[in-house]
A and B are shown apart, each in its own frame.
Chain A
Amino acid sequence: MKPRPDEATSEQKLIERARAGDRTAFNGLVERYQHRAYGLALRMLGNPDAAADVTQDAFISAFRAISSFRGSAFQTWLFRIVANGCYDYHRARNRHPIVSLDEALEHEQTLDVLPGQESRLSEELVEQYWEPERSALRGETIALLERLLLRLPPEQRTAVILCDIQGMAYEEIAQVTDASLGTVKSRISRARAHLRVLLATEGELSGRGRRPESEPSMAERRNISE
Protein backbone atom coordinates (compact mmCIF):
# COMPACT_ATOMS: atom_id res chain seq x y z
CA MET A 1 0.00 0.00 0.00
CA LYS A 2 2.93 2.32 0.44
CA PRO A 3 4.20 3.79 -2.81
CA ARG A 4 7.43 2.41 -4.22
CA PRO A 5 10.44 4.72 -3.93
CA ASP A 6 10.17 6.11 -7.43
CA GLU A 7 6.47 6.58 -7.02
CA ALA A 8 7.03 8.24 -3.70
CA THR A 9 9.33 10.85 -5.22
CA SER A 10 6.99 11.65 -8.03
CA GLU A 11 4.12 11.80 -5.58
CA GLN A 12 6.13 14.20 -3.45
CA LYS A 13 6.60 16.38 -6.51
CA LEU A 14 2.90 16.33 -7.25
CA ILE A 15 2.16 17.38 -3.70
CA GLU A 16 4.69 20.20 -3.89
CA ARG A 17 3.17 21.55 -7.06
CA ALA A 18 -0.34 21.10 -5.78
CA ARG A 19 0.62 23.17 -2.76
CA ALA A 20 1.59 25.92 -5.13
CA GLY A 21 -1.91 25.78 -6.59
CA ASP A 22 -1.22 23.54 -9.54
CA ARG A 23 -4.49 21.75 -10.18
CA THR A 24 -3.09 19.50 -12.84
CA ALA A 25 -0.59 18.21 -10.35
CA PHE A 26 -3.30 17.70 -7.81
CA ASN A 27 -5.33 15.81 -10.36
CA GLY A 28 -2.39 13.49 -10.66
CA LEU A 29 -2.96 12.68 -7.02
CA VAL A 30 -6.67 12.34 -7.63
CA GLU A 31 -6.07 9.80 -10.34
CA ARG A 32 -3.78 7.87 -8.07
CA TYR A 33 -6.18 7.66 -5.12
CA GLN A 34 -9.70 8.14 -6.38
CA HIS A 35 -10.45 4.47 -6.81
CA ARG A 36 -9.51 3.70 -3.25
CA ALA A 37 -11.18 6.80 -1.88
CA TYR A 38 -14.44 5.98 -3.63
CA GLY A 39 -14.24 2.37 -2.53
CA LEU A 40 -13.85 3.46 1.05
CA ALA A 41 -16.80 5.83 0.89
CA LEU A 42 -18.97 3.28 -0.85
CA ARG A 43 -18.30 0.56 1.67
CA MET A 44 -18.93 2.96 4.47
CA LEU A 45 -22.15 4.39 3.11
CA GLY A 46 -23.57 1.67 0.91
CA ASN A 47 -24.95 4.31 -1.43
CA PRO A 48 -23.12 4.97 -4.72
CA ASP A 49 -24.45 8.50 -5.20
CA ALA A 50 -23.64 9.55 -1.68
CA ALA A 51 -20.24 7.92 -1.97
CA ALA A 52 -19.55 9.82 -5.17
CA ASP A 53 -20.54 13.10 -3.53
CA VAL A 54 -18.42 12.45 -0.49
CA THR A 55 -15.46 11.47 -2.66
CA GLN A 56 -15.75 14.57 -4.81
CA ASP A 57 -16.06 16.76 -1.75
CA ALA A 58 -13.08 15.10 -0.17
CA PHE A 59 -10.86 15.93 -3.12
CA ILE A 60 -12.12 19.49 -3.23
CA SER A 61 -11.46 19.89 0.48
CA ALA A 62 -8.09 18.24 0.14
CA PHE A 63 -7.03 20.62 -2.59
CA ARG A 64 -8.12 23.59 -0.54
CA ALA A 65 -6.32 22.32 2.51
CA ILE A 66 -3.23 20.93 0.81
CA SER A 67 -1.01 23.57 2.36
CA SER A 68 -1.76 22.11 5.78
CA PHE A 69 -0.74 18.62 4.73
CA ARG A 70 2.64 17.87 6.23
CA GLY A 71 4.78 14.93 5.19
CA SER A 72 3.79 11.37 6.05
CA ALA A 73 1.25 9.55 3.96
CA PHE A 74 -1.07 11.37 1.63
CA GLN A 75 -3.41 8.42 1.63
CA THR A 76 -3.85 8.52 5.39
CA TRP A 77 -4.60 12.22 5.28
CA LEU A 78 -6.98 11.84 2.37
CA PHE A 79 -8.81 8.90 3.92
CA ARG A 80 -9.37 10.90 7.04
CA ILE A 81 -11.13 13.53 4.98
CA VAL A 82 -13.21 10.86 3.28
CA ALA A 83 -14.13 9.17 6.55
CA ASN A 84 -15.11 12.49 8.10
CA GLY A 85 -17.15 13.26 5.04
CA CYS A 86 -19.03 10.01 5.54
CA TYR A 87 -19.78 10.87 9.16
CA ASP A 88 -20.88 14.36 8.14
CA TYR A 89 -23.12 12.84 5.54
CA HIS A 90 -24.92 10.90 8.21
CA ARG A 91 -25.27 13.95 10.42
CA ALA A 92 -26.48 16.28 7.68
CA ARG A 93 -29.13 13.83 6.67
CA ASN A 94 -30.28 13.54 10.25
CA ARG A 95 -29.24 9.98 10.12
CA HIS A 96 -28.29 9.27 13.62
CA PRO A 97 -26.89 5.92 12.71
CA ILE A 98 -28.59 3.21 14.62
CA VAL A 99 -25.59 3.36 16.87
CA SER A 100 -27.43 2.78 20.08
CA LEU A 101 -29.36 -0.16 18.71
CA ASP A 102 -26.40 -1.64 16.99
CA GLU A 103 -24.06 -1.15 19.87
CA ALA A 104 -26.47 -2.95 22.10
CA LEU A 105 -26.76 -5.69 19.53
CA GLU A 106 -23.05 -5.87 19.10
CA HIS A 107 -22.52 -6.14 22.78
CA GLU A 108 -25.04 -8.94 23.04
CA GLN A 109 -23.79 -10.78 20.06
CA THR A 110 -20.17 -10.84 21.05
CA LEU A 111 -21.12 -12.11 24.45
CA ASP A 112 -23.33 -14.77 22.92
CA VAL A 113 -20.51 -16.49 21.17
CA LEU A 114 -18.69 -17.98 24.09
CA PRO A 115 -15.80 -20.38 24.05
CA GLY A 116 -16.85 -23.97 23.77
CA GLN A 117 -19.85 -23.15 21.68
CA GLU A 118 -19.95 -23.14 17.95
CA SER A 119 -17.62 -20.45 16.80
CA ARG A 120 -16.66 -21.46 13.33
CA LEU A 121 -18.88 -21.04 10.38
CA SER A 122 -19.68 -24.44 8.96
CA GLU A 123 -17.59 -25.51 6.01
CA GLU A 124 -20.78 -26.04 4.10
CA LEU A 125 -21.87 -22.49 4.66
CA VAL A 126 -18.55 -21.03 3.63
CA GLU A 127 -18.23 -23.22 0.55
CA GLN A 128 -21.33 -21.71 -0.99
CA TYR A 129 -19.75 -18.28 -0.89
CA TRP A 130 -17.15 -19.07 -3.48
CA GLU A 131 -16.99 -19.62 -7.17
CA PRO A 132 -15.52 -22.98 -8.11
CA GLU A 133 -11.96 -23.49 -6.90
CA ARG A 134 -12.30 -20.46 -4.68
CA SER A 135 -11.22 -18.24 -7.51
CA ALA A 136 -13.53 -15.46 -6.46
CA LEU A 137 -16.53 -14.70 -4.33
CA ARG A 138 -19.91 -15.30 -5.85
CA GLY A 139 -21.93 -12.23 -6.71
CA GLU A 140 -24.46 -13.07 -4.05
CA THR A 141 -21.77 -13.25 -1.44
CA ILE A 142 -20.51 -9.82 -2.37
CA ALA A 143 -23.99 -8.40 -2.00
CA LEU A 144 -24.41 -10.20 1.29
CA LEU A 145 -21.16 -8.93 2.74
CA GLU A 146 -21.88 -5.38 1.61
CA ARG A 147 -25.25 -5.57 3.31
CA LEU A 148 -23.88 -7.00 6.51
CA LEU A 149 -21.12 -4.42 6.68
CA LEU A 150 -23.77 -1.73 6.83
CA ARG A 151 -25.23 -3.43 9.88
CA LEU A 152 -22.13 -2.73 11.90
CA PRO A 153 -21.86 0.35 14.05
CA PRO A 154 -20.07 3.01 11.99
CA GLU A 155 -16.86 2.96 14.00
CA GLN A 156 -16.51 -0.80 13.70
CA ARG A 157 -17.41 -0.67 10.06
CA THR A 158 -14.81 1.98 9.32
CA ALA A 159 -12.09 0.14 11.18
CA VAL A 160 -12.65 -3.23 9.55
CA ILE A 161 -12.99 -1.69 6.10
CA LEU A 162 -9.71 0.16 6.48
CA CYS A 163 -8.03 -2.99 7.75
CA ASP A 164 -9.39 -5.77 5.57
CA ILE A 165 -10.46 -3.93 2.46
CA GLN A 166 -7.95 -1.12 2.29
CA GLY A 167 -5.17 -3.15 3.87
CA MET A 168 -4.06 -0.49 6.29
CA ALA A 169 -1.98 -1.07 9.39
CA TYR A 170 -3.49 -0.36 12.79
CA GLU A 171 -1.34 2.72 13.23
CA GLU A 172 -2.60 4.22 9.99
CA ILE A 173 -6.17 3.36 10.89
CA ALA A 174 -5.65 5.08 14.21
CA GLN A 175 -4.63 8.24 12.38
CA VAL A 176 -7.47 8.10 9.91
CA THR A 177 -10.08 7.60 12.61
CA ASP A 178 -8.40 9.70 15.28
CA ALA A 179 -8.55 6.83 17.75
CA SER A 180 -6.05 5.02 19.92
CA LEU A 181 -4.37 1.82 18.83
CA GLY A 182 -6.26 -0.10 21.50
CA THR A 183 -9.57 1.25 20.25
CA VAL A 184 -8.70 0.29 16.68
CA LYS A 185 -7.76 -3.22 17.75
CA SER A 186 -10.99 -3.56 19.70
CA ARG A 187 -13.19 -2.27 16.89
CA ILE A 188 -11.69 -4.60 14.32
CA SER A 189 -12.04 -7.56 16.61
CA ARG A 190 -15.65 -6.77 17.42
CA ALA A 191 -16.45 -6.11 13.80
CA ARG A 192 -15.17 -9.51 12.76
CA ALA A 193 -16.97 -11.27 15.58
CA HIS A 194 -20.15 -9.39 14.76
CA LEU A 195 -19.91 -10.27 11.09
CA ARG A 196 -19.33 -13.87 11.93
CA VAL A 197 -22.51 -14.01 13.96
CA LEU A 198 -24.43 -12.26 11.19
CA LEU A 199 -23.11 -14.72 8.64
CA ALA A 200 -24.06 -17.64 10.84
CA THR A 201 -27.62 -16.41 11.31
CA GLU A 202 -28.32 -14.77 7.97
CA GLY A 203 -25.59 -15.89 5.69
CA GLU A 204 -27.32 -18.64 3.84
CA LEU A 205 -27.42 -17.82 0.15
CA SER A 206 -30.55 -18.49 -1.84
CA GLY A 207 -29.01 -20.25 -4.79
CA ARG A 208 -27.77 -23.30 -3.00
CA GLY A 209 -29.88 -25.70 -4.98
CA ARG A 210 -32.59 -25.65 -2.37
CA ARG A 211 -35.83 -23.79 -2.67
CA PRO A 212 -35.32 -20.00 -2.77
CA GLU A 213 -35.27 -18.48 0.66
CA SER A 214 -36.67 -15.10 1.37
CA GLU A 215 -34.85 -13.00 3.92
CA PRO A 216 -37.24 -13.48 6.84
CA SER A 217 -37.25 -17.20 6.64
CA MET A 218 -33.47 -17.27 6.48
CA ALA A 219 -33.37 -15.41 9.71
CA GLU A 220 -35.81 -17.82 11.25
CA ARG A 221 -33.73 -20.83 10.44
CA ARG A 222 -31.08 -20.04 12.96
CA ASN A 223 -28.84 -22.94 13.54
CA ILE A 224 -26.65 -21.50 16.21
CA SER A 225 -26.47 -24.09 18.87
CA GLU A 226 -27.29 -21.78 21.76
Chain B
Amino acid sequence: MNGEPGVDHHDMIEQRELLSAYLDGELSARERQALAEHLTSCDVCREELDALRQVRTLLRALPSPALPRSFTLPETGALPTTTVRATGRTRYRPRVAHVAQWAGGVAAAAGFALLIGSAMLGHSPITAAPSAASNAFVPAAGAAHVAPTGTQNLLQHTGSAGAAATPNATAHLYDRATATPVPSSANLAAEHISETADIGQTVQAVLPYAGAGLASGGLLLLVGGSVVARRQRP
Protein backbone atom coordinates (compact mmCIF):
# COMPACT_ATOMS: atom_id res chain seq x y z
CA MET B 1 0.00 0.00 0.00
CA ASN B 2 1.43 3.32 -0.92
CA GLY B 3 2.23 5.69 1.80
CA GLU B 4 4.63 8.38 2.50
CA PRO B 5 6.94 7.77 5.37
CA GLY B 6 5.48 9.35 8.44
CA VAL B 7 1.86 8.87 7.45
CA ASP B 8 0.46 6.01 9.42
CA HIS B 9 -2.60 4.69 7.68
CA HIS B 10 -3.35 2.51 10.62
CA ASP B 11 -4.25 5.71 12.39
CA MET B 12 -6.84 6.57 9.84
CA ILE B 13 -9.03 8.26 12.38
CA GLU B 14 -6.47 10.92 13.01
CA GLN B 15 -5.66 11.20 9.35
CA ARG B 16 -9.32 11.65 8.63
CA GLU B 17 -9.45 14.52 11.09
CA LEU B 18 -6.65 16.21 9.23
CA LEU B 19 -8.41 15.71 5.91
CA SER B 20 -11.69 16.93 7.32
CA ALA B 21 -10.08 20.08 8.72
CA TYR B 22 -8.31 20.54 5.43
CA LEU B 23 -11.67 20.64 3.69
CA ASP B 24 -12.78 23.38 6.03
CA GLY B 25 -9.63 25.41 5.59
CA GLU B 26 -8.81 24.98 9.23
CA LEU B 27 -5.25 23.74 8.94
CA SER B 28 -2.26 25.94 9.46
CA ALA B 29 -0.36 26.95 6.37
CA ARG B 30 2.35 24.43 7.12
CA GLU B 31 -0.09 21.57 7.76
CA ARG B 32 -1.94 22.41 4.60
CA GLN B 33 1.23 22.39 2.57
CA ALA B 34 2.35 19.07 3.97
CA LEU B 35 -1.02 17.46 3.37
CA ALA B 36 -1.36 18.81 -0.17
CA GLU B 37 1.97 17.28 -1.01
CA HIS B 38 1.02 13.98 0.57
CA LEU B 39 -2.19 13.87 -1.42
CA THR B 40 -0.39 14.03 -4.71
CA SER B 41 0.94 10.56 -4.14
CA CYS B 42 -1.51 8.88 -1.78
CA ASP B 43 -4.61 7.29 -3.30
CA VAL B 44 -6.01 6.21 0.02
CA CYS B 45 -6.05 9.70 1.44
CA ARG B 46 -7.39 11.13 -1.78
CA GLU B 47 -10.27 8.67 -1.69
CA GLU B 48 -10.95 9.52 1.92
CA LEU B 49 -10.89 13.22 1.16
CA ASP B 50 -13.34 12.72 -1.69
CA ALA B 51 -15.69 10.76 0.53
CA LEU B 52 -15.63 13.46 3.19
CA ARG B 53 -16.18 16.09 0.55
CA GLN B 54 -19.20 14.24 -0.79
CA VAL B 55 -20.88 14.29 2.60
CA ARG B 56 -20.00 17.92 3.16
CA THR B 57 -21.40 18.88 -0.22
CA LEU B 58 -24.66 17.14 0.50
CA LEU B 59 -25.05 18.83 3.88
CA ARG B 60 -24.24 22.23 2.48
CA ALA B 61 -26.93 21.74 -0.13
CA LEU B 62 -29.64 21.32 2.49
CA PRO B 63 -32.11 24.17 2.14
CA SER B 64 -32.82 26.17 5.24
CA PRO B 65 -36.23 25.32 6.66
CA ALA B 66 -39.05 27.81 6.43
CA LEU B 67 -39.70 29.86 9.49
CA PRO B 68 -42.97 28.62 11.02
CA ARG B 69 -43.79 31.94 12.66
CA SER B 70 -42.17 35.07 13.98
CA PHE B 71 -40.26 34.80 17.21
CA THR B 72 -40.25 38.48 18.04
CA LEU B 73 -41.09 39.33 21.61
CA PRO B 74 -44.30 41.19 22.45
CA GLU B 75 -43.54 44.89 22.51
CA THR B 76 -45.28 45.47 25.80
CA GLY B 77 -46.48 43.46 28.71
CA ALA B 78 -45.01 40.44 30.38
CA LEU B 79 -42.61 38.25 28.53
CA PRO B 80 -43.93 34.79 27.83
CA THR B 81 -42.61 32.26 30.27
CA THR B 82 -40.12 29.82 28.92
CA THR B 83 -41.43 26.30 28.61
CA VAL B 84 -40.42 23.60 31.01
CA ARG B 85 -38.89 21.50 28.33
CA ALA B 86 -36.58 24.15 27.05
CA THR B 87 -35.19 25.23 30.37
CA GLY B 88 -35.18 21.77 31.84
CA ARG B 89 -36.44 23.27 35.04
CA THR B 90 -39.62 22.14 36.69
CA ARG B 91 -41.40 23.79 39.58
CA TYR B 92 -39.76 21.43 41.96
CA ARG B 93 -36.09 21.65 42.11
CA PRO B 94 -33.26 20.13 40.11
CA ARG B 95 -31.71 16.74 40.71
CA VAL B 96 -34.46 15.76 38.40
CA ALA B 97 -32.42 14.07 35.75
CA HIS B 98 -30.98 11.28 37.76
CA VAL B 99 -34.17 10.35 39.54
CA ALA B 100 -36.36 10.78 36.55
CA GLN B 101 -35.72 7.38 35.11
CA TRP B 102 -37.06 5.37 37.96
CA ALA B 103 -39.45 8.03 39.20
CA GLY B 104 -42.06 6.65 36.87
CA GLY B 105 -42.48 3.38 38.66
CA VAL B 106 -42.27 4.92 42.10
CA ALA B 107 -44.66 7.71 41.23
CA ALA B 108 -47.16 5.28 39.82
CA ALA B 109 -46.85 3.18 42.94
CA ALA B 110 -47.39 6.19 45.15
CA GLY B 111 -50.36 7.10 43.05
CA PHE B 112 -51.87 3.70 43.49
CA ALA B 113 -51.15 3.84 47.19
CA LEU B 114 -53.07 7.05 47.49
CA LEU B 115 -56.05 5.68 45.65
CA ILE B 116 -56.07 2.50 47.64
CA GLY B 117 -55.71 4.50 50.83
CA SER B 118 -58.57 6.79 50.03
CA ALA B 119 -60.76 3.87 49.09
CA MET B 120 -60.00 2.19 52.38
CA LEU B 121 -60.90 5.28 54.32
CA GLY B 122 -64.28 5.43 52.73
CA HIS B 123 -66.33 8.01 54.58
CA SER B 124 -64.55 7.88 57.87
CA PRO B 125 -64.29 11.32 59.44
CA ILE B 126 -61.15 13.14 58.53
CA THR B 127 -60.04 16.07 60.58
CA ALA B 128 -59.05 19.31 59.00
CA ALA B 129 -55.42 18.81 59.83
CA PRO B 130 -53.51 17.66 56.82
CA SER B 131 -51.18 15.63 58.92
CA ALA B 132 -53.96 13.52 60.30
CA ALA B 133 -55.22 12.79 56.85
CA SER B 134 -51.79 11.92 55.62
CA ASN B 135 -51.11 9.64 58.53
CA ALA B 136 -54.28 7.85 57.69
CA PHE B 137 -52.68 6.83 54.46
CA VAL B 138 -49.76 5.21 56.09
CA PRO B 139 -51.21 1.74 56.53
CA ALA B 140 -52.58 1.73 53.03
CA ALA B 141 -51.86 -1.46 51.17
CA GLY B 142 -48.66 -1.42 49.23
CA ALA B 143 -47.62 1.85 50.83
CA ALA B 144 -45.99 0.25 53.81
CA HIS B 145 -42.58 1.29 52.63
CA VAL B 146 -43.57 4.84 51.93
CA ALA B 147 -42.59 7.02 54.84
CA PRO B 148 -45.29 9.17 56.44
CA THR B 149 -43.24 12.30 55.98
CA GLY B 150 -42.85 11.55 52.33
CA THR B 151 -46.49 11.08 51.83
CA GLN B 152 -47.37 14.08 53.93
CA ASN B 153 -45.17 16.43 51.98
CA LEU B 154 -46.44 14.93 48.81
CA LEU B 155 -50.00 15.52 49.87
CA GLN B 156 -49.31 19.06 50.86
CA HIS B 157 -47.95 19.82 47.47
CA THR B 158 -50.52 17.99 45.49
CA GLY B 159 -53.11 19.28 47.92
CA SER B 160 -52.15 22.82 47.08
CA ALA B 161 -52.22 21.94 43.45
CA GLY B 162 -55.59 20.34 43.78
CA ALA B 163 -57.02 22.89 46.19
CA ALA B 164 -58.66 24.75 43.42
CA ALA B 165 -59.73 21.37 42.19
CA THR B 166 -60.12 22.55 38.67
CA PRO B 167 -58.32 21.40 35.57
CA ASN B 168 -56.65 24.79 35.36
CA ALA B 169 -55.00 24.41 38.71
CA THR B 170 -53.34 21.23 37.70
CA ALA B 171 -52.74 22.32 34.15
CA HIS B 172 -49.46 23.98 34.97
CA LEU B 173 -48.12 20.63 35.97
CA TYR B 174 -48.70 19.35 32.51
CA ASP B 175 -46.36 19.90 29.67
CA ARG B 176 -48.60 22.16 27.71
CA ALA B 177 -47.46 21.10 24.32
CA THR B 178 -47.66 17.39 24.72
CA ALA B 179 -50.31 17.26 27.45
CA THR B 180 -48.41 14.63 29.33
CA PRO B 181 -47.96 15.26 33.01
CA VAL B 182 -44.68 16.96 33.61
CA PRO B 183 -42.80 14.73 35.95
CA SER B 184 -42.64 17.53 38.47
CA SER B 185 -44.91 16.07 41.13
CA ALA B 186 -43.58 12.65 40.38
CA ASN B 187 -40.07 13.88 40.84
CA LEU B 188 -41.05 15.58 44.03
CA ALA B 189 -42.50 12.34 45.22
CA ALA B 190 -39.36 10.62 44.16
CA GLU B 191 -37.20 13.16 45.95
CA HIS B 192 -39.08 12.80 49.18
CA ILE B 193 -39.46 9.11 48.97
CA SER B 194 -35.79 8.91 48.23
CA GLU B 195 -35.19 10.30 51.67
CA THR B 196 -36.44 7.04 53.08
CA ALA B 197 -34.20 4.08 53.38
CA ASP B 198 -34.38 0.97 51.25
CA ILE B 199 -35.38 2.78 48.15
CA GLY B 200 -34.28 -0.15 46.07
CA GLN B 201 -36.51 -2.44 48.04
CA THR B 202 -39.33 0.03 47.77
CA VAL B 203 -39.05 0.11 44.05
CA GLN B 204 -38.98 -3.63 43.81
CA ALA B 205 -41.84 -4.01 46.23
CA VAL B 206 -44.10 -1.60 44.45
CA LEU B 207 -43.10 -2.33 40.88
CA PRO B 208 -45.83 -4.91 40.50
CA TYR B 209 -48.23 -2.13 41.29
CA ALA B 210 -46.54 0.34 39.02
CA GLY B 211 -49.09 -0.07 36.32
CA ALA B 212 -48.86 2.06 33.27
CA GLY B 213 -46.01 4.19 34.43
CA LEU B 214 -45.33 7.84 34.81
CA ALA B 215 -48.36 9.30 33.10
CA SER B 216 -50.89 7.33 35.03
CA GLY B 217 -48.83 7.65 38.18
CA GLY B 218 -48.76 11.41 37.94
CA LEU B 219 -52.42 11.54 37.18
CA LEU B 220 -53.27 9.33 40.09
CA LEU B 221 -51.16 11.44 42.41
CA LEU B 222 -53.03 14.51 41.40
CA VAL B 223 -56.40 12.85 41.59
CA GLY B 224 -55.61 11.37 44.97
CA GLY B 225 -54.29 14.70 46.16
CA SER B 226 -57.31 16.65 45.08
CA VAL B 227 -59.62 14.08 46.62
CA VAL B 228 -57.88 14.45 49.93
CA ALA B 229 -57.86 18.22 49.69
CA ARG B 230 -61.58 18.29 49.17
CA ARG B 231 -62.22 16.15 52.17
CA GLN B 232 -60.13 18.38 54.32
CA ARG B 233 -62.47 21.30 53.95
CA PRO B 234 -64.90 21.61 56.82
Mark A residues whose CB is within 8 Å of B.
23-24, 26-27, 30-31, 34-39, 42-43, 48-50, 52-61, 63-64, 85, 88-89, 91-94, 96, 110-111, 113-116, 119-121, 126, 129, 136-137, 141-142, 145-146, 160, 163-165, 169-170, 185-186, 188-189, 192-193, 195-196, 199
Contacts and interface: CB of A to CB of B under 8 A. Distances in A.
A199 B45 CA distance: 20
Interface in B90-139: 90, 96-97, 100-101
Contacts, number: 176
Q: Is the interface of A mostly helix, strand, loop or mixed?
A: helix
A61 B89 CA distance: 13
Contacts of B83: 53, 57
Nearest to A144: B58
Interface string B63-100: 11101111111111001101111111110000011001
Contacts of B183: 94
B197 to A, nearest CB: 26
B44 interface: yes
B59 interface: yes
B177 A39 contact: no
Interface residues on B, range: 35 or more
B179 interface: no
Contact of A121 (B44, B54, B62, B90): B54
B91 to A, nearest CB: 12
B231 interface: no
A141 B58 CA distance: 9
Given A89-B85, A92-B87, A192 B52 contact: yes
Contact of A56 (B12, B51, B55, B80): B80
